[in-house]
Amino acid sequence: MSSHKIVIGTRGSPLAVAQSAWFGKELQNQNPSLQIQFKKITTSGDKIKDRFLNEVGGKGLFVKEIEEALLAKEIDMAVHSLKDVPAEIPDRLELACFPKREDFEDVLVTSTGVSLEHLPAGALIGTVSLRRKIQIEQLHPKVSFQMLRGNIDTRLTRLQAGEFNAIVLAKAGMKRLGLDLSHAVPIPIVPAPGQGTLGIEIRKGEDLLQNLLRPLHDLSTAVVSQAEREVMKQLGGGCNLPLGVFGQIQGDQLFLEAFIASLDGKKIIKEKVIGSSRQPIDTASLLLEVLWKQGAKGLIAS
C-alpha cells in the first residue's frame, strides 16, 4: 500500500462488485487524490453451488480467500456483506469501518408482486437459508421450498423462467444493484445478523487506512453490528444454525431481538430485549440471558 493507492478486495459476484465500487467511490470522494484498484477474488462459497452452506462449512466460505489475500498483503482492504462474515475473524485482522446500514429486510419476490399470505397452498419458494425457510413456514405452513443458490441475477432468471412461484432475497442487495422493487414485498421475519450492512476489513495497525475510513464509519450501524455479532458469536454463529438477530436504535435505547431454531424447525426460540445504545455488549448479554433461560443451549447442543 502506498499513501496514494489502495487495492480493495471483493468477491466477483455482481452484488459484491457493485458494493465495492460504491464504497470505493465514497472513499475517493473523501480523498480525491487516492488511486483505487479492485481485485476480484473467487471464494469457496462461490464455487460450491449445489449444497446448503451449513453442510459445507458455513458463511466463512465467502470470506476465507479474501482474508488470506489481506494477510498476504495482496490487497489493502476488503468490502464484505457483513452477514457473510463469521463471528470470529483472524487475530491480525479487524472490521474497521461500518458504513451506514442499508435496508435490512428480507423480501418475497414474485412475477406479480403478491405478498406471502396471498401465495397459494403448495407454492414453491426458492431459498438457501434455513433461517428464512423456518420463519416463513411459521407464517405460511402450506408453502413448499427448494434450494436456490447463485447470485441475485441467477435467482431472478430462474424465477422468471417459472421454476419457482417466489424467491426470497435481501432488499439491500436489490437496491444496491438498482433492481426494480415493485414486485418485492417485505416479509416480517428476523433478518440475519449484519444484513444490509457492509463491513470493511483491514489488517490491524494500519493507521493510514484507519484515518481514511473514519469519515465513512457510521456509529449507529457500528453499535447495532457489535450487538448483533456478539449474540451470533455466543450462539456459536455461522450458517450451521438457523439464526436471526436484529438491533435497532431509538433515542438512547437499543432494541435487540433474536430468532433461533433447531435444524428441523421443530424447536424455535424468539425473544427481544431493550437495553442502552451506549452498552451494546451488555444489551447482547441481556438478550443471551433470556435465550439461555428459554433453552437455547440445549437447542444448540442438539
Q: Per DSSP, which regions of the chain are E strands?
A: 5-10, 35-40, 77-81, 93-97, 106-109, 124-126, 144-146, 166-170, 184-187, 198-203, 243-250, 253-261, 268-276
The answer to whether 91 and 69 have CB atoms below 8 angstroms apart is no
**Interatomic CA distance for residues 87 and 81, integer angstroms:** 13
The verdict on whether 252 is a catalytic residue reads no
For cell 479487524, name the residue.
94
Query: What are the beta bridge partners of residue 170?
Result: 106
Catalytic-role residue among 46, 50, 76, 84: 84
Name the residues annotated as catalytic: 84
